[in-house]
Amino acid sequence: MVQSIGNPIMWIGFTLFVLAMLALDLGVFHRKSHAVGHREALLWSVVWISLALTFNVGIYHWFGGQHGLEFLTGYLIEKALSVDNIFVFILIFSYFAVPDEYQHRVLFWGILGALVMRALFIFLGAVLLEQFQWIIFVFGGFLVYAGVKMLRGSEVEVHPERNPAVRLLQKYVPVTAQYHGHRFFVNQDGRLHATPLLLVLVVVEATDLVFAIDSIPAIFAVTRDPFIVYTSNIFAILGLRALYFLLAASMSKFHYLKVGLGLVLAFVGVKMLLSEYFHIGTGISLAVIGAILAIAVVASLLYKPKGDSEDDGSNHGPPTASARPSEPVQTTGFSD
């Protein structure tokens, strides 16, 4: 069994810390629904990144530089891959015409569910790698495939009406035609109804399940320690909400980011495929991944693909369906 730096007290302590931060987030700072502005999003991004780096320093101090480097590399990989979620969140919120002031609540509960799913995926991945060593080649091959697919420009398509979870929910629970504030359920005519906001949450959770299939194997390429895999993944996910509100309006400017993410996935996949024959150090991995992402961001800022219209920068908040030029959303499609 892979020796983990995390003992039961550390696992419980970290989990309680995460739950306390989430309770503070929703129960105090976001008790009232409101549109999250850039200043607030920037502040929370700084908070989550600072907490992750402080935790990283603690690992470095108590467990050595190698474990500290593994956490930092894993955190960078997960943080970079989580950016891809933002593209999909924009599509989902646009499709359902989710008002700005309710988007944070959806992301909060969506990410809470993601924490549970990621924990299960990490545990399963650790068990599989321990019991079946050849699984590492399956993970590596899948990551290379995912990276090549992203490099070829395959776009993520969002079809909520085809989502099995959404269909199952609509089959057994009546759905209201309109939003009812930030509530997921309402009582109408003595019967419990779901609101369209619950459908949005279901789609967000299903989408994260797909992204987890890419991200969890990727971090196992860096370390087999379940505690480092879990904590670095969770810190990246916790900061995703603030990152969404910070970057959503400007995501279209990062034209080459998907190319960079594709190269990261391919590199990590190759690292896993070669792990039994050739060892690529964690420091080298961190340098390569950091360089790829930096080049992708700089290239996006310096070079604009032909045919793209200029952005006047007038859009300062996350886009919603009201800003879409075509295919207006009609929530009446979700009525019972």
> What integer pLDDT is reported at residue 321 of this predicted model?
40
The reply to whether 1 falls in a domain is no
Helix (H) or strand (E) holding 55: helix 38-63
Answer for the pair 104, 199: CB distance below 8 angstroms, yes or no. Answer: no
Tell me the two tokens of residue 117: 């799913």
Per-residue pLDDT tens digits for 55-91 = 999 999 999 999 999 999 999 998 888 877 787 888 8
When the pLDDT of each residue in the chain is averaged and rounded to a whole number, the result is: 80
- Strand ranges (DSSP E) for the chain? 185-188, 191-194
Higher pLDDT, 17 or 315: 17
Integer distance in angstroms from the first to the last C-alpha of the chain?
A: 52
Answer for the pair 216, 118: CB distance below 8 angstroms, yes or no. Answer: yes
The reply to whether 68 falls in a domain is yes
Answer for the pair 150, 142: CB distance below 8 angstroms, yes or no. Answer: no
Answer for the pair 199, 96: CB distance below 8 angstroms, yes or no. Answer: yes
The reply to whether 200 falls in a domain is yes
Answer for the pair 229, 60: CB distance below 8 angstroms, yes or no. Answer: no
The reply to whether 243 falls in a domain is yes
The reply to whether 192 falls in a domain is yes
Provide the 3-class DSSP secondary structure of residue 306.
coil
| Helix 65-95, helix 240-247: angle, nearest 10 | 60
Tell whether the model's pLDDT for residue 316 goes beyond 70: no
Tell me the two tokens of residue 287: 């340098």
State what percent of residues in the chain have pLDDT above 90: 15
Nearest CA among 130, 149, 151, 131 for reference residue 141: 149
Provide the 3-class DSSP secondary structure of residue 188.
strand
What's the whole-model pTM score? 0.78
The reply to whether 328 falls in a domain is no
Answer for the pair 71, 232: CB distance below 8 angstroms, yes or no. Answer: yes
Measured CA to CA, the distance from residue 33 to residue 31 in angstroms comes to 7
> What integer pLDDT is reported at residue 57 of this predicted model?
96
Per-residue pLDDT tens digits for 201-240 = 988 888 888 778 777 888 888 888 989 999 999 999 888 8
The reply to whether 18 falls in a domain is yes
The reply to whether 179 falls in a domain is yes
> What integer pLDDT is reported at residue 61 of this predicted model?
92
Count structural domains, the chain.
1
Domain coverage including residue 75 = 8-304
Task: Name residues whose C-beta falls within 8 Å of residue 278's C-beta, 6 or more positions apart in sequence.
Answer: none
Helix and strand numbers (H, E) in the chain are: 11, 2
Highest mean pLDDT among 77-81, 119-123, 228-232, 249-253: 228-232
- Cα separations in angstroms, 190 against 15, 179, 183, 187, 252: 38, 18, 17, 6, 45
Answer for the pair 205, 160: CB distance below 8 angstroms, yes or no. Answer: no
